[in-house]
Structure 1
């Protein structure tokens, strides 16, 4: 057998694994790429439209080119090298001790989630959601009746997600305080693959970052007099897609995803990532809020309606037509 230099060089599985584990961010910095952090979880390289690198340096996506992968694919794409050349170069780079992606440690088995103890009243929850957040009273009452929200003994609002057996598996808390430090966070041992879920019908799910955004959206629908809305609605509890992935696995009839994430850097970036990940199997549509999020849009609408006999202003009439206007590219 004749070998023609590096193009025929073979690598062991251990060598390939070593090359694959080199951190993309560390590599890019060592090669002089102009990295810009756009959120805690994402970097970009200016000049390469839509090319984003995950905050842990393990993967990248170039949305406008429909490309992505790990460090090997990154070097091949950015430097025009073959797979064999790339692995050889990365093995050489590893000799100067660029950081590698840490091995995922085995996770200890979680204990069972325990819902926070209920308060004897709901008055702080109602005051916060209705007066401070402007959510419609009928929406708040419905969620209380369905045991999706309640007030805990520390006057926090608790938002509950249930597994397929109807057992509470996820919960998040948010302070009902309107002054001072704002407290929020998931309850210990919550399963992030279980969403805060408002059950609908049909083949469409609307995806929000937070329960309050979801409830604000329902309030906007009511204010606009939209009565034929029946989509499923979930909250991710952030911008991770664990809850969406878990929901889609449990709901095989879903064909369309409406992304209703915040209109900020983190939300816009997350929409790009989710679109790239799910567009092969689902129709993806985005509804961009007028403002940072749908609660801000709701507040602005309520303020605009003061003195107008509760009639929505004309510039809000297009709310129900968003699907035709906001399709993801």
Structure 2
């Protein structure tokens, strides 16, 4: 376990580095150099444990909530959130939105269906308070979606949550547009498996910079932020040009450090991101990139083995809390980790600094 103890001196510690400093009297740099020059014994390469087919994870049966006799509370709640009544009526008539009562509380139920129109997932949103949930047995491959009128439409709008999707549709209606001119897809979080599945079933959506990546089974190079920027500029939609303009600083401008392919082996078992030398402007972007990578790892672990637990440790967590963007992203991720059987722990010596931060206190 790496522990050592010098009984005659009454001192002890853990690890070879600590031993060389305490016992041999070396300074830190000399001790590190000494360890680096040692010839380590050969060891067997890492071999992933093969899954036993007999112990494959069996998904729980999907338990769709029973609908109430009406959806009055749900309609009133979503209208207060700014959703247009015409859109709500369409969703209710299609059976992808309804009301259910759970423990005496009224909840919105958003249904995800497969290509045959069979309900495969259901997410809940409380009409009172902040309750959010997912029904047992829900298949994450099927998110809450609204198809377009024209089946040949090649544009999809992707949203994080069902209410975000309904808000986007409402904005189209407010601008006088046909709100069903595009595909609408909600991911139910940050898991892109629902989008992958939707695109597989709708090959007409071809304006997608990472569709070749999906078709290759994620074996080719992933498109970069610069690829997204260039593709957005070529789109005829005004909104695409607005997004491209917002990305310009990060894609081709002075903060384009993260717009290029990585030179790090991301399949390595141990990955270190050193952002100490970055300036004050780039450091928040770097922190967001690291948090996004951690989120992706957490979701991939749950996707590969739903029974496996993931532990995420944030050392010196106060550094992430100092910037507004990274602190909000951390807060959102922290809340979502439990959905993917992950558990987060923050570590800091500056406890008072954390408690004085509104986001950390929440």
TM-score, length of structure 1 as denominator length: 0.49
Answer 1 or 2: higher relative contact order, Cα 8 Å, separation at least 6.
Answer: 1
Whichever of the two has the greater Rg, that structure is 2
